[in-house]
Amino acid sequence: MKPKLILILTLIVLLPLGALGWLGLRVAGQEREVTENRLREALNGRLRDINAVILRSVEKRETELLRLLDRNSYQPAELRELVRSSPLIHSLFVLDPRGNRVHPPPEGPLTAAEQEFLERSGQVWRDKQSFYASAESSGRQASHGWYTWYWGNGVNLVFWVRNASGYVIGAACDRTRMLADIVGELPDSDTSDPNLRQGRIALAGGDGVAVYQWGAYEPATGEAPRVRLNLNPPLDSWNLLYFAPTATASPFGGSMFLNLAAGLGALVLALVGLAAYFYRESTRDMREAAERVSFVNQVSHELKTPLTNIRMYAELLEQSVPEGDGNAARHLDVIVSESQRLSRLINNVLTFARKQNDKLMLHPAAGNIDRCAGFVLDHFKASLEAKGVTTVFNAGAGAPVEFDRDAVEQILGNLFSNVEKYASSGGWMEVTSQQHGTTTSIMVADRGPGIPKGQEERIFAPFHRLSNRLSDGVTGTGIGLSIARDLARKHGGDLKVIAAESGACFQLELLTPTPARKEQQT
């Protein structure tokens, strides 16, 4: 099989497969991304629901603290009793309308819990003006709220209330009790939530350490959560985290890529089958074509010998015809002319067959280009003159050179034959030869209809014949110019059409070293 056909069949398989594979992967990737986003949004919704539960728990504590801190008396004994009786409150402080501390008493004495609170609440006193600031939404002073600060191993919470007299009372909440209240509102570890059969939700503090978690999945150390949600104030430094394995996070990805792989596999089988079918058909066609070429080649060889004999005896008989027998002379001229034409056709077929089999070889020898051209022109002169074509030969390549005489005769024979068949209406053919160093050029010009524009290269294609008045009613195989160009290029030159004012003009260039120079090179 030819490499070009192998390449074409390979491309038939690989190009559609590659394009569809790329498109399938892109679509699958986009679908997976959409699925991932939908799942992420669903998990975010689940975390928002849990955040709402935590927010309601904080609001309950807020309502309870509003009730406990609703007082106008700030006696130390009463405030200390409130701390002892409420598990939610760790410490209390009171500021007067000017921001001066009233409790714990500046003059003392202080309890151990109050002393500890003062030691870790330095930031509270630096930011105490925030208890008197206006609310952003209304522009009015807020009557209560939450204040957070970090100290020790985590966040500390203060709920404060300002009364009508301008006094501020704040309660530092017990983190352990508040966390226990929040956890009590959350699902237990044995939840039957279908979203958590292969997942886990964790409540993490500001340091990222989970303080409570539930769900069947056990995340690896350092594993990043699939979804993260910050809690509402005052616990906005805390997070809800959702952990899940990759397969759970994108449940449709595996089946999607499996379907894609199955589809591509089916496509591969179909394309391979198609390529195999084309291969079988093409090889069958090539075998049949090779058999036809071989048959024509054998027939041509068989015809060459009897045709040579016919031509030889016709030429001998032509010399012995009495001068007064005009009819016999004309009949013999026809026999000789047609045998010469048939010889050219057979030579073209044999040369084309050798080219197809990569057996086209040249055998250069010393000779004279002008004598070779004149010999071919003499064979065509009678048939050209019979069609009213005047021939002119401007000989300019008389120096001895190395060339393949048979090849040059075949090239010129094809060019002269085309003038006879296609350009005889112009009544003129001019042949001009020139030599320049190791190059010999031969110009063959006529005054016929010429070559249509855009067809200058196509006429050299095998079996191509112009579908216009140039070829109407003219017989031929369509391989003459193709063979002529191949022989010219094999000879180190080329054959091409050049611009002409009228008719067609072919330029033949040949590499023709002189015999002496070739011997020196050898």
Q: What CATH number is attached to the domain comprising 498?
A: 3.30.565.10
Domain holding 221, by residue range, is 73-248
Among 248, 274, 300, the domain-final residue is 248
Asked if residue 403 belongs to a domain, the reply is yes
Indicate the burial class of 521 (C-beta count within 10 angstroms; 0-12, 13-18, 19 or more).
exposed
Confidence band, pLDDT 50/70/90 cuts, at residue 466: low
The domain boundary residue, chosen from 214, 248, 282: 248
Query: What are the pLDDT digits (tens) for 469-488?
Result: 444 545 556 778 888 898 89
The predicted-structure confidence for 385-422, as pLDDT tens digits, reads as follows 989 999 999 999 999 999 999 889 889 988 998 998 88
The last residue of a domain, from among 194, 221, 248: 248
Using the structure block, give the residue that is written with the tokens 């409540």: 203
Q: Supply the pLDDT for residue 488.
A: 92
For the segment 491-499, the average pLDDT, to the nearest whole number, is: 93
**pTM of the full structure:** 0.47
Alpha helices in 69-128 (DSSP H): 76-85, 112-120, 122-126
Is the per-residue pLDDT at 27 higher than 80?
no
Residue 17 lies in a domain: no
The per-residue pLDDT for range 70-82, each reduced to its tens digit, is: 988 899 999 999 9
pLDDT at 441: 96
Query: What count of Cα atoms within 13 Å lies in the side-chain half-sphere of residue 323?
Result: 0
Q: Is the dihedral of CA 280, 285, 289, 292 positive or negative?
A: positive
2 is a domain residue: no
Is 281 a member of any domain? no
And the tokens for 475?
A: 């017989």
pLDDT of 15:
77
| Residue 249 predicted with pLDDT over 50 | no
Residue 341 has pLDDT above 70, yes or no: no
pLDDT at 276 over 80: no
Distance CA 243, CA 427 (A): 96
- Tell me whether residue 514 is in a domain: yes
Residue 305 pLDDT? 63
Mean pLDDT computed over 269-295: 69
Give tens-digit pLDDT for 128-163: 888 877 554 545 566 899 998 887 667 889 999 998
Phi, psi of 150 (to 5 degrees): -105, 130
**Which of 96-100, 112-116, 291-295 has the weakest average pLDDT?**
291-295
Helix, strand, coil fractions of the chain, as percent rounded to 5: 50, 20, 30
Is 183 among the domain residues? yes
Among 179-183, 200-204, 205-209, 430-434, name the one with the lowest average pLDDT. Answer: 205-209
Domain count, the chain: 2
* Range in 178-182, 200-204, 307-311 with the lowest mean pLDDT: 307-311
Shared domain check, 366 and 233: no
Domain assignment of residue 30, yes or no: no
Long-range contacts formed by 121-130: CB under 8 A, 24+ apart: 121/93, 121/149, 121/151, 121/156, 121/172, 123/149, 123/151, 124/93, 124/149, 124/158, 124/170, 125/101, 128/95, 128/99, 128/168, 129/99
Q: Is 243 in the same domain as 382?
A: no
Q: Average model confidence (pLDDT) for the chain? A: 81
Residue 212, pLDDT > 50, answer yes
Instruction: Give ∠ CA 144-148-149 in degrees, rounded to 5.
Output: 145
What percent of the chain lies above the pLDDT cut of 90?
30
CA-to-CA distance for 375 and 82, rounded, in angstroms?
Answer: 135
Please report, in angstroms and rounded to a whole number, the separation of the first and last CA atoms in the chain: 38
Split at pLDDT 50, 70, 90, the class of 307 is low
Q: Which of 72-76, 217-221, 249-253, 403-407 has the lowest mean pLDDT?
A: 249-253
Are 488 and 504 contacting, i.e. CB atoms less than 8 angstroms apart?
no
In a domain, 409, yes or no: yes
Q: Please state the rounded mean pLDDT for residues 454-476.
A: 67
